[in-house]
């Protein structure tokens, strides 16, 4: 099937394959936190169907459809990737696997990793065997990420890491962490390296932090004399900032896209109408209409940028635009869901269980992966060329 280059012939083959291989229970279109399959050594499948779906998709490379086949992907070009997305959406199939490995580390390794690193790390990500977390932020380094202090010393035969990370999402569930560490104190941006660390190494510990949504998906992560093999650096030593920035463009796209996903496939108005009596309340209706217009247009922009990237245009700093527009919009949409739900939506459980939690969670969209203010600064300086 994957050797079929013609998009329409590929479509029929894929359709048949999905018909046979995607379990019925995985065709409910669910896209919320609880139904995501994250994978990893400690992963507990929520059902037998979830397990089967992951195994079958991974065997075909369809957990990471655009990655090269030698690294566990399906090697799809943009035209066939579109077909893949359309066919998945047509049967409402769940994404078989999602992870920071797919969204962030994978693209960075594909670009900066050695052939050995790619062979070692990418296939286990594609198969959902190793779960990764991101160790960027520190207590004193948020928006000013390059101000990070976690110390990484060259001990000749290995690295020695000491320091603390914060806001490390899912650190307590991850098998490995990709971390930014300081290898040279003298230079702010050119003294940072990109290091891969096994979370089971001696000296790594995590402590959960509770969020306003009640969930506790992220942690403080501590490194206390952690020994790391020399070849675990991605890219050149002291040039990790280049890797970090490249990865951030993918993270931004992912955050804007995940917010948009529900927006483009499901009409906000149709969802709200269920709560609010046909959506007749004029203020709510007007705001929902505006949000729908914007959601469709942002979704098309995501498509346009992918088309541009495939045509060789590259996305680069413009990913800051997607992140800003996608996340601010997602917050607006969840405000409307709360307004439509009225007092019912204010309960932690009940008819609208999860809605308040989701709403609270969206507030992080414009903070994580770089705040909206930082995105606007990137656009104004790098895209518009304004001074300062």
Partner 1 sequence: MATLVKTEEETMLADAARGFLDDAAPVTHLRGLRDAGETHDPALWKEMAQMGWAGILVPEEQGGSDMGHAAAGVLAHEMGKTLATSPFLSSAVIAATALRQVSDARGDALQRIASGEAIYALAVDEGNKFAPDATAMTAERVGNGFRLTGDKTFVVDGALADRLLVLARTEEALTLFDIPADRDGITRSAQNMIDARDSARIRFDGVEATGDDVVGQVDHAMDVLKPALEAGQAALAAEMSGLAAGAFGMTVEYLKERKQFGIAIGNFQALQHRAAHLWCETEVTASAILHAGRKLDEDPANATLAVSLAKARATSTAQLAVMEGVQMHGGIGMTDAFDMGFYMKRARVSAEWLGDYGYHAGQVARLRGF
Using CB under 8 A, which of 41, 78, 158, 189 touches partner 1?
78
Q: Beta strands 151-154 and 192-198: pairing type?
A: unpaired
| Closest CB 86 distance from partner 1, rounded Å | 10
| Identity of the residue, 52 or 339, whose beta carbon is nearer to partner 1 in the bound complex | 339
Minimal distance, residue 250 CB to partner 1, in Å: 19
Q: Give the residue with the Cβ less far from ligand FAD, 129 or 368.
A: 368
Q: How far is the CB of 177 from partner 1 (least distance, A)?
A: 32
Binding pattern to partner 1, positions 203-222, x when CB under 8 A?
--------------------
Binding mask 344-373 for partner 1 (x = CB under 8 A): -----------------------------x
Place of tokens 């160790």: 135
Verify binding: residue 282, partner 1, rule CB under 8 A.
Answer: no
| Site for ligand FAD contains 169 (CB under 6 A) | yes
Q: Is the dihedral of CA 271, 333, 299, 74 positive or negative?
A: negative
Closer residue to partner 1 (CB): 37 or 295: 295
Torsion angle, CA of 213/216/222/227, rounded to 10 degrees? -130
Instruction: Determine the residue with CB nearest ligand FAD.
Output: 142
Query: 46 with 35: CB under 8 angstroms?
Result: yes
- Count of chain residues binding ligand FAD (CB under 6 A): 20
Interface residue with partner 1 among 294, 335, 344, 368 (CB under 8 A) is: 294
Find out whether 244 and 235 touch, Cβ atoms under 8 Å: no
Q: Two tokens at 42?
A: 């400690």
Q: Does residue number 314 form part of the binding site for partner 1 (CB under 8 A)?
A: no
Those residues with Cβ within 8 angstroms of residue 124's Cβ, 6 or more apart along the chain or in another chain: 130
Q: Per rule CB under 6 A, is residue 369 in the interface with ligand FAD?
A: yes
Give me the sign of the Cα torsion angle 41, 46, 52, 57. Answer: negative
Non-local (6+) Cβ contacts of 348 within 8 A are 214, 356, 357
137 CA to centre of own chain = 16
From the list ligand FAD, partner 1, none, which binds 168 (C-beta under 5 to 8 Å, kind-based)?
ligand FAD
Among 76, 228, 322, 374, binds ligand FAD (CB under 6 A): 374
3-state class of 165 per DSSP?
strand
From residue 145, alpha-carbon distances to 59, 108, 208 in Å are 38, 18, 21
CB 127 within 8 Å of CB 58:
yes
User: Which span (79-87, 121-129, 131-139, 265-273) binds ligand FAD, by CB under 6 A?
Assistant: 131-139
Helix or strand run (H / E) with residue 247: helix 240-265
Q: Is 5 exposed, middle or buried (0-12, 13-18, 19+ CB in 10 A)?
A: exposed
Binding at 167: pick from partner 1, ligand FAD, none (beta carbon under 5-8 Å per type): ligand FAD
310 binds partner 1 (CB under 8 A): yes
380 lies in the site for ligand FAD, by CB under 6 A: no
**Number of neighbours of residue 35 by Cβ within 10 angstroms:** 15
Residues assigned a catalytic role: 251
Residue 385: helix, strand or coil by DSSP? coil
Q: Does 368 bind ligand FAD (CB under 6 A)?
A: yes
* CA–CA gap between residue 85 and residue 27 (Å, rounded): 14
Question: Of the ranges 9-17, 122-130, 163-171, 275-283, which one interacts with ligand FAD (CB under 6 A)?
Answer: 163-171
- Taking each helix axis from N to C end, the angle separating 282-310 and 240-265, rounded to the nearest 10 degrees, works out to 130
Give the residues lining the site for ligand FAD (CB under 6 A).
133-137, 142-143, 167-169, 218, 364, 367-371, 373-374, 377
Give the residues lining the site for partner 1 (CB under 8 A).
78, 267-270, 273, 279, 285, 288-290, 292-294, 296-298, 300-301, 303-304, 307-308, 310-311, 313, 318, 321, 324-325, 373, 375-377, 379-381, 383-388
């Amino acid at each position: 099937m994957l050797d079929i280059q013609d998009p329409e012939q590929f479509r029929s083959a894929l359709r048949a394959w999905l018909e046979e291989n995607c379990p019925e229970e995985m065709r409910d279109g669910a896209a919320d936190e609880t139904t995501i399959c994250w994978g990893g050594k400690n992963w507990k499948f929520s059902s037998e169907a979830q397990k089967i779906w992951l195994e079958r998709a991974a065997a075909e490379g369809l957990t990471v459809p655009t990655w090269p086949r030698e690294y566990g992907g399906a090697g799809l070009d943009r035209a066939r990737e579109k077909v893949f997305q359309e066919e998945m959406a047509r049967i409402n199939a769940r994404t078989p696997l999602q992870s920071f490995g797919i969204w962030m580390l994978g693209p960075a390794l594909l670009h900066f990793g050695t052939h050995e690193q790619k062979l070692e790390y990418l296939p286990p990500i594609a198969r959902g065997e190793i779960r990764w977390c991101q160790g960027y932020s520190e207590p004193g380094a948020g928006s000013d990420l390059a101000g990070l202090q976690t110390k990484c010393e060259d001990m000749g035969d290995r690295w020695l890491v000491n320091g603390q990370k914060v806001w490390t999402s899912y650190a307590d569930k991850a098998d490995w962490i990709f971390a930014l560490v300081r290898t040279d104190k003298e230079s702010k941006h050119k003294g940072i390296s990109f290091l891969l660390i096994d979370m089971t190494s001696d000296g790594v510990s995590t402590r959960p932090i509770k969020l306003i949504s009640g969930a506790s998906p992220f942690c403080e992560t501590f490194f206390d004399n952690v020994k790391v093999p020399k070849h675990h650096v991605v890219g050149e030593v002291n040039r990790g900032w280049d890797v970090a920035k490249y990865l951030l463009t993918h993270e931004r796209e992912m955050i804007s896209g995940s917010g948009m996903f529900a927006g483009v496939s499901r009409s906000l108005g149709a969802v709200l109408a269920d709560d609010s009596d046909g959506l007749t309340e004029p203020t709510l209706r007007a705001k929902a209409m505006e949000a729908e217009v914007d959601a469709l247009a942002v979704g098309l922009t995501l498509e346009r940028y992918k088309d541009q990237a495939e045509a060789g245009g590259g996305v680069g700093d413009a990913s800051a635009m997607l992140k800003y527009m996608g996340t601010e919009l997602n917050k607006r949409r969840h405000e409307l869901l709360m307004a439509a739900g009225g007092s019912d939506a204010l309960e932690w459980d009940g008819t609208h269980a999860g809605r308040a939690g989701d709403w609270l969670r969206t507030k992080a969209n414009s903070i994580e992966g770089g705040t909206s203010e930082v995105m606007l600064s990137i656009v104004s300086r790098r895209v518009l060329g304004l001074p300062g």
